[in-house]
């Protein structure tokens, strides 16, 4: 016998479905923002991680919530195109650090310029307070799921 969901459970399921649907739209929007620079949303995410701070592929994957192997594949392509460089990691001999090259900085800045206009337009529609509240709830959920995954 299937148990009936509670109103809280229904609300959680509705939010989960909405976030999944939103994710596909954000992926498409990200691809559109990155395309003029010859990139994709996934490549842009890796460039953004490397721009944030020199970090290993594994660190970038954790920060982005992506599989390490997928980030490694993208990072290797970006390196082949001269957009990132691997450098020695003083903390871990085998886990090289990704760093943007000058060409990578230009590509990232190009995408970031378009993203700023896009974010400002959409931010004005929904308002700062509502967006921060929604982001806070989603980040709380992410942290909860992450801690449960890390425990078991």
Q: Is residue 150 part of a domain?
A: no
Residue ranges making up the domain that contains 59: 29-142
Q: Which residues pair with 86 in a beta bridge?
A: 98
* 113, 44 contact by CB (below 8 A): no
Of all residues in the chain, the percent with pLDDT exceeding 90 is: 85
Q: Is residue 49 part of a domain?
A: yes
pLDDT of residue 42: 95
Angle at 57 between CA 97 and CA 147, to 5 degrees: 125
Examine the pLDDT at 85 and tell me if it is beyond 90.
yes
Q: Is residue 14 part of a domain?
A: no
The CATH number of the domain where 116 resides is what? 1.10.10.10
| Gap between the Cα atoms of 142 and 6, Å rounded | 22
The count of structural domains within the chain is 1
Q: Is residue 4 part of a domain?
A: no
Q: Is residue 72 part of a domain?
A: yes
Q: Indicate the average pLDDT of the chain.
A: 95
Question: Model's pTM, two decimal places?
Answer: 0.86
pLDDT of residue 83: 98
Q: Is residue 127 part of a domain?
A: yes
Q: Is residue 34 part of a domain?
A: yes
């Amino acid at each position: 016998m299937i148990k009936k969901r509670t109103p809280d459970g229904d609300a959680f399921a509705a939010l989960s479905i909405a976030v999944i649907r939103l994710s596909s739209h954000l992926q498409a929007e990200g691809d559109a923002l990155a395309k003029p620079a010859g990139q994709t949303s996934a490549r842009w995410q890796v460039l953004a991680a490397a721009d944030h701070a020199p970090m290993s592929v594994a660190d970038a994957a954790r920060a982005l919530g992506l599989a390490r192997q997928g980030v490694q594949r993208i990072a290797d392509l970006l390196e082949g195109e001269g957009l990132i460089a691997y450098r020695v990691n003083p903390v871990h001999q085998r886990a090289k650090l990704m760093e943007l090259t000058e060409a990578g900085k230009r590509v990232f800045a190009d995408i970031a310029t378009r993203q700023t206009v896009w974010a400002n337009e959409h931010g004005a529609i929904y308002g700062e307070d509502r967006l921060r509240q929604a982001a806070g709830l989603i980040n709380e959920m992410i942290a909860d799921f992450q801690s449960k995954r890390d425990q078991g």
